[in-house]
Amino acid sequence: QKEVEQNSGPLSVPEGAIASLNCTYSDRGSQSFFWYRQYSGKSPELIMSIYSNGDKEDGRFTAQLNKASQYVSLLIRDSQPSDSATYLCAVKASGGSYIPTFGRGTSLIVHP
Amino acid sequence: ETGVTQTPRHLVMGMTNKKSLKCEQHLGHNAMYWYKQSAKKPLELMFVYSLEERVENNSVPSRFSPECPNSSHLFLHLHTLQPEDSALYLCASSQAPNQPQHFGDGTRLSIL
């Protein structure tokens, strides 16, 4: 059973702070990792993809992957109230599977 | 604009009705997915099609019937639904097994 675990939150941070969202996964064969943002009542929107160990930065977002420890994280710098949403972690195994495993998501609240 | 278009955006139907949800992707992707998302619950994978062949049927009740006539179009035919089927139904597509999914805006379904 492949599992992806996220703290459901809510994670509350003040505006301008760094928000740190974490995700752990059980399948050591996982090769592809994705972070999605989902506003209430809307569909998930891809923020970041990461495939190799280390950090990947895109604007205010940084994804960090550590395959040895089986975790992937998302850092949001200079958090804004508009970042308030649920963040979903998704993991895909190797071997040609099209089917990702999603975590339950972490609710982030950025307060002014 | 995500490149994945779902219609209708909202649907209200009685339990004895028959209706269909439509999804079209303009991204040239090879795989298409149906997900169900109920309030306060994680994404539930329903069906996956890869190159028009169904590769996953996640123990979905037979009152949901998918159809994939070509790689750009995906339908979900609905009949004799139950009140617990009220949810947001999301369509997604992806290019390759290690690539992320792109989601449509979803169809908000309410069963009376």
Q: State pLDDT tens for residues B31-68.
A: 999 999 998 788 999 999 988 778 777 789 999 999 99
How far apart are the C-alpha atoms of B60 and B46, rounded to whole Å? Answer: 6
Inform me whether the pLDDT recorded for A48 exceeds 80: yes
Q: What is the pLDDT of residue B109?
A: 96
Q: How far is A15 from chain B (nearest CA, A)?
A: 25
Q: What is the pLDDT of residue B53?
A: 79
Whose CA is closest to B20, among B68, B70, B76?
B76
Of the candidates A51, A96, A102, the beta carbon closest to that of B43 is on A102
Q: What is the pLDDT of residue B97?
A: 80
Q: Do B45 and A98 touch (CB under 8 A)?
A: no
Amino acid identity, residue B24? E
Q: Do B45 and A88 touch (CB under 8 A)?
A: no
Chain A positions touching B3 (Cβ under 8 A) are: none
Whose CA is closest to B79, among B37, B34, B16?
B16
CB–CB contacts below 8 A, A to B? 57
Q: Do B78 and B63 meet the contact criterion of CB atoms below 8 Å apart? A: yes
Which is more confidently placed, A67 or B96?
A67
The burial of A22, by beta-carbon neighbours within 10 Å (0-12 exposed, 13-18 middle, 19 or more buried), is given as: middle
Among B35, B43, B56, which would you mutate to test the A interface (most chain A Cβ atoms within 10 Å of its Cβ)? B43
